[in-house]
Amino acid sequence: MLRQYFSALLWGLAALTFALAISTPNGYGIPTGLLFLASASLFYLRPKWCDLSLEDRRLFYAFLAFGLSMFVFVYLDGWYTRELDRPSRFILVLPVLLMLLQSSNHKEWLWYGAIVGAIGAFALACYEKFVLGIDRAHGSEYPIMFGNTGMLLGLLSLAGASYFLAMKRYFWLSLALIAAIAGIGSSFLSGSRGGWIALPIIGCFMLWQSRELFSKKSLVGVLVAAFILLGVAVAVPQTGVMKKVDQTLVSLSQYYSGENKATSLGMRFDMWVTAYHLFQESPILGVGEYGEKAEKKRMVEQGVIPPAMLHFNHAHNEFINALSQRGLVGLAFLLLVYLVPMRLFIKKMEANANNWRIKSYAMAGALIPMCYMDFGLSQVMFAHNIGVMMYAFPIVYFWAATRWAEREELGESKSN
């Protein structure tokens, strides 16, 4: 009985990670910190390494390899130990993975957490935008991080909607759909354009994977509703979407004509060019985060890059930033921590194509690296605490949920 209550507590904390993520200051940090402290229970649970599947180990080793590789790069960059904090989360989450694989109750609470988190994010964004008059909703984070996390919560809620639809639980289906719109809406209100690219791409992926749940008429209805909602988001001036689109087009024109390169988009292009020059200096292991500062000063003195580039600590692109600071080796480890989890989840989706008790959790897990690869095109997500935490921990949550869903289905089939 005590173990059942403890399992419920663990999954409750996992759900709170989503529920509090951006609607409260450091909302993601408290539940994840408590989960890590609770992982001391492994001494009591005594998980056996041989009980882990090959897939469990692949995820475990992918996170471990990325975390340790970042430690090595910090050492090569001068051993500034404060830079160990964020990559250490990929290692500290591993005992949580082992613990959740031993704790089977209440995985469904992840959906409830995502729903509450997405609706809470939208409520906060509306308050900041329409009551306080803030130009870009941001909560206690940077607008880009707020918007990208809101988009992630919205898409997780959409994955939850597929689960509730398959289970014919229409009340929670309605709430999940509202939460999906809310999470996406919070991204729009933040003005974070980079996250918007994820919506049509990942939305189409999820719709294609869920096509068997819809009749032809309902599928057409879903598409029409999606286009109407998108049109409303673009057309209503208060959302700021059309303003951002116009700014993007103007910035592109001004940058390439040479009229004005100091726009937000223009500065990004200059950051990417700067990162390319840094990559050429050390293509294998990169110049390092701190080594980059000295290299930038030298390039400014030589007139290679504009002086404004000295004010930025990263390239606002996860992939290009990895190349410049950690070289081809660093990029390889970054791709490892994206592609290994994504492939593991997609394999689970393929193996359980018609079983939504399992597939929905696997689909939610797969869309996390998908979203992050999109977000990484315009932001270095892993340079922020929330970016690291809302990647590593949710992947562990949904992997453990997928594995438990498999075990439960296997148990039911044996009993039948």
Q: Is 313 exposed, middle or buried (0-12, 13-18, 19+ CB in 10 A)?
A: middle
pLDDT digits (tens, 9 = 90+) for 296-322: 999 998 888 888 888 888 889 999 999
**Helices marked H in 20-134:** 29-38, 42-45, 54-76, 85-100, 109-126
pLDDT digits (tens, 9 = 90+) for 44-69: 666 665 578 999 999 999 999 999 99
Q: Which of 231-235, 270-274, 325-329 has the lowest mean pLDDT?
A: 231-235
51 Cβ partners below 8 Å, 6+ apart? Answer: none
Take residue 17 and report the two structure tokens written for it: 């990670």
pLDDT of residue 416: 39
Mean pLDDT of the region 66-91: 95
Q: Is the pLDDT of residue 238 over 90?
A: no
Q: Cα angle at 359 between 354 and 365, to 5 degrees?
A: 160
Q: What is the C-alpha to C-alpha distance for residues 103 and 10, in angstroms, rounded to an integer?
A: 8
Distances (CA, A) of 144 to 131, 157, 275: 20, 20, 20
pLDDT of residue 113: 98
Q: Is the pLDDT of residue 257 over 60?
A: yes
pLDDT of residue 223: 67
What percent of the chain is modeled with pLDDT above 70? 86
pLDDT of residue 158: 94
Take residue 192 and report the two structure tokens written for it: 């974070």
pLDDT digits (tens, 9 = 90+) for 162-179: 999 999 999 999 999 999
pLDDT of residue 232: 65
**pLDDT higher for 183 or 195?**
183
159 within 8 A of 367, measured Cβ to Cβ:
yes
Mean pLDDT of the region 207-219: 79
Q: Is 194 exposed, middle or buried (0-12, 13-18, 19+ CB in 10 A)?
A: buried
**pLDDT higher for 262 or 401?**
401
For residue 363, the surrounding DSSP H or E stretch is helix 356-375
Q: Which of 2-16, 60-74, 193-207 is predicted most confidently?
A: 60-74
Q: What is the C-alpha to C-alpha distance for residues 111 and 114, in angstroms, rounded to an integer?
A: 5
pLDDT of residue 413: 47
Domain range summary for the chain, segments of one domain joined by +: 2-38+75-241+319-411, 242-318
320 Cβ partners below 8 Å, 6+ apart? Answer: 272, 275, 276, 279
What percent of the chain is modeled with pLDDT above 90? 68
pLDDT digits (tens, 9 = 90+) for 397-414: 999 999 999 999 887 544
pLDDT of residue 415: 42
pLDDT digits (tens, 9 = 90+) for 117-138: 999 999 999 999 999 999 899 9
Mean pLDDT of the region 102-111: 90
pLDDT digits (tens, 9 = 90+) for 16-41: 999 999 999 999 999 999 999 998 87
Give the predicted TM-score (pTM) of the model: 0.92
Q: What is the C-alpha to C-alpha distance for residues 373 and 194, in angstroms, rounded to an integer?
A: 11
- Per-residue confidence at 217, pLDDT binned at 50, 70, 90? low
177 within 8 A of 161, measured Cβ to Cβ:
yes
* Chain mean pLDDT for the chain: 89
pLDDT digits (tens, 9 = 90+) for 376-396: 999 999 999 999 999 999 999
148 within 8 A of 379, measured Cβ to Cβ:
yes
